[in-house]
Chain A
Amino acid sequence: MKKSMLSDPFEKARENIGYGNMDDQGDPVTMLLRLKDVRKTAHNWKTFQSGATPGRIVVPSEVNIRDVRQIPFEVDPPEHTDYRKLVEPWFKRPLEKEYQAKLTQQINDIIDEVLQLDSVEVVEEFSLKLQSRALTLLLNVPYEEAKTWIDWGTHVFRSEGVALDGDKANILYDYIDEQIERADKAPSDDLYSVLLAAEVNGKKMTKEEVKGVMILTFAGGRDTVINAVTNSIAYFAEHPESLQRLKDEPEITGNAVEEFIRYFSPLTHMGRVVTEDTQVCEHAAKANSRVSLCWASANRDPKTFENPNDIVLDRKINPHVGFGFSHHNCLGATHARQILNILISTLANKVQSIDIVECQENVETLGEFKRKVGYDSIRVQFHPR
C-alpha cells in the first residue's frame, strides 16, 4: 500500500446500513455515511441543529473545554443568516488579485526555503508555517504575527495521546482576548477591528461574539489546512507523474484542488444535535442525541463518485462535501482553495520530485472505524527542477 493513500474505512457500513456508531466522552454519535443522507441532514437545520450547547456539535466534543459559542458555526437560521452575511465578504477577499499575489509570494518563499534543506519534516516545518503565514493575510494582520502561532506548535488543542487539552486551548483563547482588547483600544483594518465595529441583527457585535468568530477562524483553519497541505506533499512524492502533468496542463489545477479536498477530506465529520425524535437511515434518532455528517465517507460514496478511491486529477463532475454542505459550508473555503491552488502550481513549476524519508500516520479512532486523516510527522526531501 502506498504511503500517501487514504483508505476508506466506511465502505462496508455505508453500503450495508448507512451509519456507524461511536462513543465520545459519554455522548455517543450516530455517524451518517451516505452522501445523500449527509446532504439532507446538513440542510435540515430545524431537526439537526448547530446552535446547541457550545462545543457539542464538534466531535470529539469540546463542551468541557469551551463556553464561547463559535460564530456563525454554532448558530442556526434565522440568526445565522445575518452573521454569515456580515463575515462572508471578508472571507471572499482571497479572490482579490492583491491577496493572491501576496499568497503566491509566501508560498514561493517557503518552497524556496525547503528546496535548500537536506530534508524537511513537512507538518511542523512546512505545512504549519505555510498555514500560519497565510492566516496573516486572512486576518489582515502583520506577517510577523505568524511566528507566535507557529511557536504554539501543531497541537494547540491537542496533547500527545489526549484528544482535547483545556490548557492548550486556553493559550489560544487568552491570545484572542488580548488581540480583541488591542483592536478595541487602537482599531486598524484587521478582522478583529472590523468585527468590533460591525452591527449584526440590529445590534453592535459584543466582544464575546467577536471572540466566537475569531476562535472559529483560528480553529477551523488550522488542522484542516495542515492536513490538506501535508497530504498533497505526500501524494506528489509518490506521484511524480502528477506533478509533471500539472506543469504541462495548468488548466486542470482547479479540478485537482477539488479532487484533493474530496479524497483527503481534511475534516472527517461534523456533528449536529437532534431536536425531535426522528429517523436517520431507517434508524431511530432520539431528541437531544447527536448525529454526525461524515464528509469523509460521503466523499467516497460510489453511487455518486466513479472510482471513488482513486485521485482523478481532472475529475469533471465532483459534487464533494469536503467543505461541508448547505448554509454552514466552510467559511474559509475560498482561502483554502487559493492556498492549494497556488501550492500545486508552485510545486509543479519548482519541484522535480519528492522523496519520503520516514513518516508517522495520524489515525483517528471513530468507534468501529479507524481513519487516517494525515500524518503526525513526515520527513521528505524536495528535489528542484
Chain B
Amino acid sequence: MAKITFITQDNETTVLEANSGSVMELAVQNNIAGIDGDCGGVCSCATCHVYVDPQHTDKTGQASEIEQDMLELDDDANEFSRLCCQLEVSEALDGVVLRVAR
C-alpha cells in the first residue's frame, strides 16, 4: 500500500492510498482538481501534470524520453515536472507528495 499526497492549486491537500494502477487514475477516481487525464494515460494530452516534491524525486525516478519531450513544450514545466499517468503506483512511491500544476 502506497500513500500518495496531492496538493492542488487551491492548496487543498488530499492523501490517498492505493496498490496498483497509475497515479493519474488514482487522482481522477478521487476528483483531484487539475488532473483530467483526458487521453486515459497514454502520454498524449499532458492534462495530468504534477510537480514532485524536490525531496521525493528518488521515489518517482526519471521521466522517459517521450514524457520529457511532452514536458519540454509545457510552459509550466520545471525540473520536478512529471505526467502522473506515467507513474505506476507501487511501494516505491509511498509517502510521495505531488503538487498539481494546473
Residue of A nearest to B28 (CB): A95
Query: CB < 8 Å: which of A36, A257, A315, A326 contacts B69?
Result: A36
Is B40 a contact partner of A258 (Cβ separation < 8 A)? yes
| With A317-B43, A318-B43 as contacts: A334 and B69 at CB distance below 8 Å | no
Chain B residues, CB < 8 A from A204: none
Q: Is A333 an interface residue (CB 8 A)?
A: yes
Is A254 a contact partner of B41 (Cβ separation < 8 A)? yes
The A-contacting residues of B in range 10-55, CB under 8 angstroms, are 36, 38-45
Q: Is A40 an interface residue (CB 8 A)?
A: yes
- Give A92 to B69 CA distance when docked, in angstroms: 26
Residue of B nearest to A252 (CB): B40
Residue of A nearest to B41 (CB): A254
Interface code A315-343, partner B: CB below 8 Å = 1, 0 otherwise?
11111110101100100011001000000
Q: Is A154 an interface residue (CB 8 A)?
A: no
Is B40 a contact partner of A255 (Cβ separation < 8 A)? yes
Is B44 a contact partner of A39 (Cβ separation < 8 A)? no
Is A337 a contact partner of B38 (Cβ separation < 8 A)? yes
Chain A residues, CB < 8 A from B70: 319
Query: CB < 8 Å: which of B36, B38, B66 contacts A319?
Result: B66
Q: Which size bracket describes the interface of B in this complex?
A: 10 to 19
Q: Which size bracket describes the interface of A in this complex?
A: 20 to 34
Query: CB < 8 Å: which of A40, A258, A304 contacts B39?
Result: A258
Q: Is A43 an interface residue (CB 8 A)?
A: yes
Closest CB in chain B relative to A43 CB, distance in Å: 4
- Give A325 to B46 CA distance when docked, in angstroms: 10
Query: CB < 8 Å: which of B38, B42, B66 contacts A315?
Result: B42
Interface code A29-66, partner B: CB below 8 Å = 1, 0 otherwise?
00000001001100100000000000000000000000
Residue of B nearest to A317 (CB): B43
Is B38 a contact partner of A333 (Cβ separation < 8 A)? yes
| With A39-B69, A40-B73 as contacts: A257 and B40 at CB distance below 8 Å | yes
Is A326 a contact partner of B40 (Cβ separation < 8 A)? no
- Give A320 to B38 CA distance when docked, in angstroms: 13
The A-contacting residues of B in range 46-74, CB under 8 angstroms, are 64, 66, 69-70, 73
Chain A residues, CB < 8 A from B45: 323, 329, 333
Query: CB < 8 Å: which of B38, B66, B73 contacts A317?
Result: B66
Interface code A241-259, partner B: CB below 8 Å = 1, 0 otherwise?
0000000000000110110
Instruction: Beyond A319-B66, A319-B69, A321-B44, list 12 extra A-B contacts (CB 8 Å).
Output: A36-B69, A43-B73, A254-B42, A255-B42, A304-B69, A317-B42, A317-B43, A318-B39, A318-B42, A329-B45, A333-B38, A333-B45
Which 6 A-B pairs have CB atoms at the shortest separation, nearest pair first? A254-B40, A318-B42, A43-B73, A319-B43, A258-B42, A319-B44
